[in-house]
Amino acid sequence: MTSGEPGWVVLGAGGHARSVVDVLERAGHTVVAVSGAAPAGEPWHVDVLADDRAAFELVAAQGLHAVVAIGANPARARLVRELVARGLSVPPVVAATATVSPRSLLGAGSVVLEHAHVGPASRLGDAVVVNTAAVVEHDCIVGAGTHVAPGAVLLGAATVGEGTLVGSGARVLPGVTVGAGATVGAGAVVTAHVADGETVVGVPAATRPTGGTA
């Protein structure tokens, strides 16, 4: 860690938090604590705070950076909004192996994980996750609280609304819009507009039949 640089508190203690902590530590940052119920398995090597309230208090008291590492889009977006509203530090997190154009814009609390790419003139809202090996190409717009899952690709000038899940390995073709709160199933190829709240699956992507699975 660079001398004098604040440490980090990670809100969340599950699998996604493990990935975010790993990214921070690989970049030479110090993770002071995580918060929440830790899953069974390998114990944490940093302090585990009881809950998110305790994390807020620690960040405020010690002037630390915070990142929300919770997979659920609504909860992650809500916590980032609250941190920002309180004037706390919620900078983007970018893995050392990721590539992010200096001509792109990353919102507060956004996370770009290992081997992901964010191209020039793209804009990510607050609390966006661009997961491992995902690609957000040039001129894309990604709404706040959206998750671009591992290996998913948003091609040039695609737009994704707030709180949407673009599933693992999915493709959104150039210029296509996916609405807010939508779900794009794993491996789907989106060739046409997806409405707000709609779930699409398949190649080409189509609305999921009643009783189907994403």
User: Does any domain span residue 1?
Assistant: no
Sheet holding 171-172, edge to edge: 99-100, 117-118, 135-136, 153-154, 171-172, 189-190
- Both 44 and 121 in one domain: the answer is no
Burial of 8 (0-12, 13-18, 19+ CB in 10 A): buried
- Both 103 and 194 in one domain: the answer is yes
Name the domain count of the chain: 2
Contact by Cβ (8 Å): 107, 90:
no
Report pLDDT for 47: 96
CB neighbour burial string for 90-110, b if at least 16 within 10 angstroms, e if fewer: bebbbbeebebeeebebbbbb
Separation of alpha carbons 55 and 122, rounded Å: 31
Burial of 198 (0-12, 13-18, 19+ CB in 10 A): middle
Final residue before a domain boundary, out of 67, 91, 115:
91
**Structural domain span for residue 145:** 92-201
User: Does any domain span residue 209?
Assistant: no
Report pLDDT for 210: 47
- Both 98 and 160 in one domain: the answer is yes
Question: Mean pLDDT for each consecutive 10-residue tract of the chain (214 residues)?
Answer: 78 96 96 90 92 96 98 97 98 98 98 98 98 98 98 98 98 98 98 98 84 44
User: Does any domain span residue 117?
Assistant: yes
Separation of alpha carbons 141 and 60, rounded Å: 31
Final residue before a domain boundary, out of 63, 91, 119:
91
Report pLDDT for 209: 60
- Both 32 and 65 in one domain: the answer is yes
Query: Whole-prediction pTM value?
Result: 0.93
Per-residue HEC secondary structure of 3-46 comes to CCCCCEEEEECCHHHHHHHHHHHHCCCCEEEEECCCCCCCCCCC
Residue 62: left (phi > 0), alpha (psi -120 to 50), or beta? alpha
Coil/strand/helix, residue 73: helix
Q: What is the CATH number of the domain that holds 196?
A: 2.160.10.10
Tokens of 42: 């390998």
